[in-house]
Amino acid sequence: MSASPGFGDRVARAVEVRASQVVLGLDPDPARIGDGADRAIAFCERVIDLAGPACVAVKPQLAWFERLGAAGWDALERVSSHAADCGLLVIADAKRGDVDVTGRAYAQALVRSPFDAVTLNPMLGGDAVAPFLDAARATGRGLFVLVRTSNPGARDLQDLVLEDGAPWHEAVARLVATWGAGGVGADGISDVGAVVGATAPQHLARLRSLMPDQLFLIPGVGAQGGRPEDLGPAFAGNRAGALVAASRSILYADDPRTAAEQLRSAVWAVSGG
């Protein structure tokens, strides 16, 4: 037992306190806001100040910072710290996954302040996830493992049918449930969650049954076409059972505050069961 609350309990408390499951994706696109680390910082901090009160977390997408080199890494730290200062959880959207010895290095890079959780790619299997899990569990942090992503190409490999008749992504889901079994908090939520896209809502009920304790992180609402009203099965009556991420539909809205508040209301309405 660690002295600090586990990630699942931290999320459950945050959803309750903030009455929101909305995750603000931070993808500072130079084609929209102009280039350079200073612009990325100013843009992200402004959106956090406007939309943050309707959200429970931010999700900086590391690619948009990495493209700026060393200055981008500093910008990532600064923007994430600003979000944490505003009471938001910070999910580093890294989608990393590498062999165990390298995984330890990535865990050192990403399982640390100001990040509360990190997204992982499971293709390399359990020994690639293990160093992240060790680091996260020791510090009350969380992981979100890609299970079924929101993009059209998800069909190419994630939906291939195995010899038992199930799609490959269901095998990922079973592994995720196993990896997370040792980290279920008092509120019934594990510190190992699952990324499940909103664009194929027909999978939500099945994946919820395979992963009863997993927090779902659901991208694909808004610009990618996913609709909040289809997400009820992801919650299964637990308001803290899923977090819903939106990026472009809030970041580049005429009024980010209203866009975030509308999504908050729509998700809250379907989350109560």
Where do contacts with a second copy occur on this chain (CB under 8 A)? Answer: 27, 29, 61, 63-64, 66-67, 69-74, 77, 95-103, 105-106, 108-110, 121-129, 146, 149-158, 160-163, 165, 168, 171-172, 175, 219, 224, 248
CB atoms under 10 Å from CB of 239, counted, come to 17
Tell me which of 13, 39, 95, 206 is the catalytic residue.
Answer: 95
Q: Hey, which residues does 117 pair with through a beta bridge?
A: 91, 142
- Considering the complex, state which of residue 121 and residue 139 has its C-beta at the smaller distance from a second copy: 121
Q: Using an 8 Å Cβ cutoff, are 222 and 215 in contact?
A: no
Strand, coil or helix: 25: strand
φ and ψ at 151, to 5 degrees? -90, 160
Residue 95 annotated in active site: yes
- Considering the complex, state which of residue 92 and residue 270 has its C-beta at the smaller distance from a second copy: 92
Q: Minimum Å distance from CB 210 to a second copy?
A: 15
Residues ≥6 apart with Cβ < 8 Å to 93: 25, 59, 60, 61, 62, 119
Q: Using an 8 Å Cβ cutoff, are 250 and 47 in contact?
A: yes
Q: Which of 170, 171, 218, 178 is nearest to 194 (CA)?
A: 218
- Considering the complex, state which of residue 106 and residue 235 has its C-beta at the smaller distance from a second copy: 106
CB atoms under 10 Å from CB of 208, counted, come to 21
User: Which tokens go with 114?
Assistant: 């100001």
User: Which tokens go with 26?
Assistant: 């931070």
- Considering the complex, state which of residue 34 and residue 273 has its C-beta at the smaller distance from a second copy: 34
Q: Minimum Å distance from CB 102 to a second copy?
A: 5
Q: Minimum Å distance from CB 49 to a second copy?
A: 23
Q: Minimum Å distance from CB 82 to a second copy?
A: 17
- Considering the complex, state which of residue 42 and residue 71 has its C-beta at the smaller distance from a second copy: 71
Q: Minimum Å distance from CB 103 to a second copy?
A: 8
- Considering the complex, state which of residue 63 and residue 269 has its C-beta at the smaller distance from a second copy: 63
* CA angle centred on 260, ends 257 and 266, rounded to 5°: 140
- The beta-carbon contacts of 168-172 under 8 Å, at least 24 apart in sequence, are 169/203, 169/207, 170/206, 170/207, 170/210, 172/122, 172/145, 172/146, 172/147, 172/148
Q: Minimum Å distance from CB 119 to a second copy?
A: 10
Which residues are designated catalytic?
Answer: 95
